[in-house]
Chain A
Amino acid sequence: MHLYKSTKLAIAFVVGVLTLQLACRKYQDDTTNPDDEWRSGGEQTVFDQGSGAFGHAFNGLPAYLARVHEVGDVQFNATFVSAPAPLNPGLGPVFNNVSCSSCHVNDGRGKIPGRGESAANMLFRVSLPGVGEHGSPLPVPGYGDQIQNRALLNYQPEADVAIGYTNESFAFGDGTSYELRRPTYTITNPYRPLPQGVLLSPRVAAPIFGLGLLEAISDVDILAREDPSDLDGDGISGRANWVWNIDEQRTTLGRFGWKANQPSLLQQTAAAYFADIGIANRLFSDTDGVLEITDSLLYAVDFYLRTLAVPGRRNVGAATVQQGKALFLSLGCSKCHIPDQRTAVTTAFPQTSYQLIHPYTDLLLHDMGEGLADNRPDFLADGNEWRTAPLWGIGLTQKVNGHTNFLHDGRARNLQEAILWHGGEAEAAKDRFRTLGKPDRDAVIAFLESL
């Protein structure tokens, strides 16, 4: 009797539990997804879908570290002016922009200039054929490895670049046509003649959140995915870039930049301060050796970048999104845009330790075909190779940056065009996408927009 009663009671409890679970299913739909994929940045995921979605600090930083993040944030936004000045001196004399955040607006993706506008928020790498010091691109005398297209008063900008586009028509498998715009770049008003055969490669500012997590993936895990001779015969190779690491004075794995030509966030940051803004620092300085940013501020900016959290996904449970994810896997996109990565264990910085993250990148170089090629080698990356771009947060680009221009030079006007520009190792996957019916294509886009 007693047993019977308690069983009945237990059943009542279970029913109650189920009812309650159902009752709150709608609210918690995304957050109960069994494979956790809504949390793109693992523990370091934030749930903001607004214009500030890329700008949040890691969760649960202790107060003293949160303060370092804030100091770095202020410095990231600091506008530099010509020296001498009471605040932020050292700009230029030639430069690309006046602060980090003027290109990485809202910690996001740079906007490309419209037709006829000057190339703000975009920069142009230049080099000569051949190899420079430590395997780097060969600098152009008088220009270095990028064109600084702005200058202080009474100085001359190195040059400007005119951007043009030619439209080309293609067709989906179902016969619907589509257009892609192919960019052309012309250097104008060079301050001194450019040598013949200069290699030019455009770059838009990349989003900067989640980089600390990408930095926390171990070299071993990245290298394990390398397949330079395509031994598994899937048509996809994947190579690591090996680049000069100034602090370590040796060649180490390249991780950051469109061609994975920077080994660490610190070096990437220091290089950008020096070349883009003209701020000499510990790693990069003029021959006079005068530093324009202190080491501690440089490290604070590095820390700021390392501790920007990743926005969580939206609508993970929606049917079209699920369908799009399945297609993303079956088309072969996920062979390079690796969904799941696990960061290395670190006791030094537990915030990034052993996190299951969903960056959708392998951080390796792939031949992306002639269409996207910049034909400008950068360390081991050849003229056709680009690093697999992380896709996390990509669906928030419109909200955060007010545009949907993708790829290294922003030529794609939306996600679908970005897919359709893929070639080389991604040609087969692109073609499978191209021959999908419209509902399936839309589902893939819906999936990308949920990232």
Chain B
Amino acid sequence: MKTKAITFSCLLATVLFITLSCSKDDDGNDGTDDIALQEEILAQVATNVCEDSYIDMHAKAVALNEAITTLNGTTTDANLAAAQAAWRDIRTTWERTESWLFGPIDADEIDPRIDTWPVDFNDLDGILANGDELTEAYIDGLEESLKGFHPIEYLLWGENGNKTAAQFTDREKAYLSALGENLTKLSADVKDTWQNGYTQELANAGRGSSEFATRQEAFLQLVDAMAGICDEVANAKIKEPFDAADPTLEESPFAKNSFTDFKNNITGILLMYQGKFNTDGKGLEDLVRTHNLSLDAEIKANHAAAIAALDAFNVPFGEAITTRQSDIQNAMDKINALATTLEGKLNPFVLQYVR
């Protein structure tokens, strides 16, 4: 009897174990019933989020370039302010797209050519001092730390963030103009690569896409990118300067734009999740809400908490790391909590429901 009882409990334990271990597959939702929804989500995310965002970024690069031309023609403080606003504007789009940092922006190595930090001040000063003709092609051949957003930021704001129109030299104007053209060209590159094929690669995941053999691969790529930007913001962009208590480690210091950058990074996650950049469409949200409302609520609550934590500052980041330490720690914690939900719950959710 005793032996039998043990056998039975073993069996029972085994059954329970196996039942639990494959409960994901046995609740009737093995992913076969919402293939159409999944395909629709990928198609709409590819178009409404990714492609639209790069169209938007290119448009804003053109606008920035025009603002620089205007500033160079009529160098007034008002035109400087307009160029600065145009820089902030494209920066907003770019930081949001960092939540889907895969595909052409990555494979074609566009990212390092437009967003390398730090700036090489010595060589930048050297170029301003030499007699080379500052064409777009010349800029294109320069090292990455001499082109893209941050040299533009440096030239528009100055080292201490208080540049006036009267301080602009002709060399600076020429450099700025070539930088603007280079940024416009590279943002057109990314946009074109999406429009000329990559959008379809993502949209057709599992249906002949050479980039994504299965829908699951594509969904995992989205989730991975969303979790990746959390890690980047919390554990690198915020944590490095914070741990070192060193404001010189701050990225984007001249425009004092760091908190805005961080918030836009995190905002991008929700845009991807909800499938809307300019136009609201289907997003991962629609699949999650079909199967797991509490996960949907958790993602949104964690996301809101992370944004709220980043909103709690009224001083620039470089100052906050030494004066508002508990708030900074709180922001990192909230962003990490969001990452944990994305990696620990949304990723397994995709493995469970998407093939």
Which B residues lie within 8 Å of A152 (CB)?
A: 122-123
Stretch at the interface among B46-54, B90-98, B111-119, B295-303: B111-119
Q: Are B106 and A106 within 8 A (Cβ)?
A: yes
Determine the distance from Cα of A134 to Cα of B98 in the docked complex, in whole angstroms: 48
Q: B218 — nearest CB in chain A belongs to which residue?
A: A50
Which chain B residues numbered 171 to 221 have a C-beta less than 8 Å away from chain A?
211, 217, 220-221
B292 CB within 8 Å of chain A: no
Which A residues lie within 8 Å of B240 (CB)?
A: 74
Which chain A residues numbered 102 to 144 have a C-beta less than 8 Å away from chain B?
102, 105-106, 111
Which A residues lie within 8 Å of B249 (CB)?
A: 86-87
B264 CB within 8 Å of chain A: no
Q: Are A85 and B122 within 8 A (Cβ)?
A: yes
Q: Are A16 and B15 within 8 A (Cβ)?
A: yes
- Among A6, A27, A52, A73, point to the contact of B24 (Cβ < 8 A): A27
Q: Are B122 and A84 within 8 A (Cβ)?
A: yes
A348 CB within 8 Å of chain B: no
Contact A70:B106 (CB < 8 A) given known A20-B22, A26-B25? no
Q: Are A87 and B11 within 8 A (Cβ)?
A: no
Q: Are B106 and A402 within 8 A (Cβ)?
A: yes
B7 CB within 8 Å of chain A: yes
Contact A153:B116 (CB < 8 A) given known A27-B25, A86-B248? no
Which chain B residues numbered 119 to 176 have a C-beta less than 8 Å away from chain A?
119-123, 126-127, 130, 143-145
Binding site for A on B (CB under 8 A): 4, 7-8, 11-12, 14-15, 18-19, 21-22, 24-26, 30, 102, 106-109, 112, 116-123, 126-127, 130, 143-145, 211, 217, 220-221, 224-225, 228, 235-236, 239-240, 248-249
Q: How far is the CB of A81 from chain B (nearest CB, A)?
A: 4
Contact A24:B15 (CB < 8 A) given known A74-B236, A86-B118? no
Q: Are A150 and B15 within 8 A (Cβ)?
A: no
Q: Are B123 and A402 within 8 A (Cβ)?
A: no
Determine the distance from Cα of A83 to Cα of B220 in the docked complex, in whole angstroms: 41
Determine the distance from Cα of A152 to Cα of B143 in the docked complex, in whole angstroms: 9
Which A residues lie within 8 Å of B236 (CB)?
A: 70, 73-74
Which A residues lie within 8 Å of B112 (CB)?
A: 79, 102
- Among A10, A105, A150, A401, point to the contact of B11 (Cβ < 8 A): A10
- Among A6, A13, A153, point to the contact of B4 (Cβ < 8 A): A6
A310 CB within 8 Å of chain B: no
| Given A17-B15, A87-B249, 7 more pairs with CB closer than 8 A | A13-B12, A24-B22, A79-B116, A81-B123, A86-B249, A87-B117, A98-B144
Q: Are A79 and B117 within 8 A (Cβ)?
A: yes
A28 CB within 8 Å of chain B: yes
Interface of B is mostly: helix
Determine the distance from Cα of A17 to Cα of B24 in the docked complex, in whole angstroms: 16
Q: A12 — nearest CB in chain B belongs to which residue?
A: B11
Interface size class of A (residues with CB under 8 A): 35 or more
Q: Are A153 and B123 within 8 A (Cβ)?
A: yes
Which A residues lie within 8 Å of B11 (CB)?
A: 10, 13-14, 17
Determine the distance from Cα of A52 to Cα of B222 in the docked complex, in whole angstroms: 11
Q: How far is the CB of A93 from chain B (nearest CB, A)?
A: 11
Q: Are B107 and A81 within 8 A (Cβ)?
A: no
Q: How far is the CB of B117 from chain A (nearest CB, A)?
A: 7
- Among B7, B18, B108, B119, point to the contact of A17 (Cβ < 8 A): B18
Which B residues lie within 8 Å of A50 (CB)?
A: 102, 217, 220-221, 224-225
Q: How far is the CB of B252 from chain A (nearest CB, A)?
A: 13
Q: How far is the CB of B219 from chain A (nearest CB, A)?
A: 10
Q: List 20 A-B contacts (CB under 8 A).
A: A9-B8, A13-B15, A14-B11, A16-B15, A17-B14, A17-B18, A24-B18, A27-B24, A50-B220, A50-B224, A50-B225, A51-B224, A74-B236, A84-B122, A85-B121, A86-B118, A98-B143, A98-B145, A102-B144, A402-B108
Which chain A residues numbered 15 to 33 have a C-beta less than 8 Å away from chain B?
16-17, 20-21, 23-24, 26-28
Contact A79:B145 (CB < 8 A) given known A20-B22, A20-B26, A23-B22? yes
Q: How far is the CB of B228 from chain A (nearest CB, A)?
A: 6
Lowest 6 CB-CB distances: which A-B pairs, in order? A402-B107, A24-B22, A81-B120, A86-B248, A50-B221, A153-B123
A88 CB within 8 Å of chain B: yes
Determine the distance from Cα of A14 to Cα of B122 in the docked complex, in whole angstroms: 75
Which A residues lie within 8 Å of B224 (CB)?
A: 48, 50-52
Which A residues lie within 8 Å of B109 (CB)?
A: 105, 111
Q: How far is the CB of A240 from chain B (nearest CB, A)?
A: 37
Q: A14 — nearest CB in chain B belongs to which residue?
A: B11
Contact A10:B26 (CB < 8 A) given known A17-B18, A50-B102, A52-B224? no
Q: How far is the CB of B287 from chain A (nearest CB, A)?
A: 17
A49 CB within 8 Å of chain B: yes
